[in-house]
Amino acid sequence: MADINYNNFTLGVEEEYMVIDPVTRELKSHEQQIVNEGHKVIKDKVKAEMHQAVVEVGTDICRNVEDAYHDVMTLRQTISQIAGDLGYWVGAAGTHPFSHWQSQLITDHARYSQIVNELQEAARSNLIFGLHVHVGMEDRKMALHIANSARYFLPHVYALSVNSPFWEGRLTGYKSYRSKIFDKFPRTGIPDHFQSIEAYDNYVNLLIKTNCIDNAKKIWYDLRVHPFFNTVEFRICDVPLTVDETIAITAIFQAICVKLYKLRTQNMNFISYHRALINENKWRASRYGIDGSLIDFGKETEVNTRVLIFELLDFVDDVVDHLGSRHAISYIHKILEHGTGADRQLEVYNSTNSLVSVVDYIHDNFLK
């Protein structure tokens, strides 16, 4: 068995934040002021998104989870400071509790104009906030192998991240309504199993040849082999309320990749399940978060989601110390104890009957 170089599994974290009017608590167009000021401090680690009430940040390539924690915390602190100086608030949740997308401005940029022109209302209404985690791979062939197997675990981790129970002032009944909004886009959701990286590239090239897309970045799967970097990119999660939650989720995605890589080096593999089955678990995760049941496909039975999350933690346990991420992953126990972002938003709403109070809670937890 080959020795594993755990340093190869580098990390990159992207988060999308909401810009809030401190008076009305509505989403607020910042006219790229935050991005422009951010460029002076953190260069290209901050950028505009399609809606002007969104700010996107991305870390450097991080050697480990500890580096990722410091980078994400610094980015949140920097954006919070800049926004505050300009008279705005920022927060992190998958959807804003009550703002309507119709009143939000689209960023004036050729790429976004093209997307809106093609996708119309599906794009204009896509006012959501996600977390993307990149895990470095030795090559794209290995990245595809890992992605094929990691698909099974997407609903488990997604259930931990759910953070969008409200939409346009309504209690949706979902713990993550964000995914329901994004489902309107083409080429989203759980990806298919691809037999080889050549088969995946042939799929991408066919879409480009037939004018479905102009480049592979318009494949918006919940998990993808990144078109330009040697990374597996996990895209399923709502942006978490807190830094600690973001880093716990980052750590578990990294550990899943390394565990699957370790199995591969031992000539073993994780069972690959059909997209339609994994989609059943994704729906359950979006609806119930950690308080429902997922299907254990091997046993062909429903199992409490928390039990399956504990099984996932056991599955990756032998690689966690090598990655130096035990402290970060242990925070998952706190999520299971205190509830997800969605659970805590709902607690605030149930005790105050005020969506304004929910926005205040989102803002207050941004730097935790």
CA distances (Å), origin 156, targets 14, 162, 239, 296, 335: 20, 11, 16, 11, 13
248 CB-near residues (< 8 Å, 6+ apart): 160, 328, 329, 331, 332, 335
H helix or E strand, kind and range, residue 37? helix 33-42
Q: Dmax over Cα atoms in the chain, in whole Å? A: 60
Q: How far apart are CA 345 and CA 172, in angstroms?
A: 13
Q: Provide the pLDDT for residue 355.
A: 98
Q: How far is CA 90 from CA 25, 177, 344, in A?
A: 10, 20, 18
- The domain segmentation of the chain, as residue ranges, is 7-364
Strands 54-58 and 46-48: antiparallel
Residue pLDDT, tens place only, 21-35: 999 999 999 888 999
pLDDT digits (tens, 9 = 90+) for 229-280: 899 999 999 999 999 999 999 999 999 999 999 999 999 888 889 999 999 9
List the one residue out of 141, 15, 136 whose CA is nearest residue 80. 15
CB 304 within 8 A of CB 336: no
- So what's the pLDDT on residue 122? 72
pLDDT of residue 159: 98
Q: Write down the pLDDT at residue 157.
A: 98
Measured between its terminal Cα atoms, the distance across the chain in Å is 41
* SS3 label, residue 292: coil
In total, the chain counts a number of residues equal to 368
Residue 64, C-beta contacts closer than 8 angstroms, at least 6 positions apart: 7, 11, 323, 324, 325
Q: Are 359 and 96 in contact (CB under 8 A)?
A: yes
SS3 at position 235: strand
What CATH architecture applies to the domain 7-364? Answer: 2-Layer Sandwich (3.30)
* Separation of alpha carbons 125 and 127, rounded Å: 6
Write down the pLDDT at residue 60: 97
Residues of the chain with confidence (pLDDT) below 50: none
Would you state the pLDDT for residue 245?
Answer: 98
Q: What is the per-residue pLDDT for 2?
A: 63
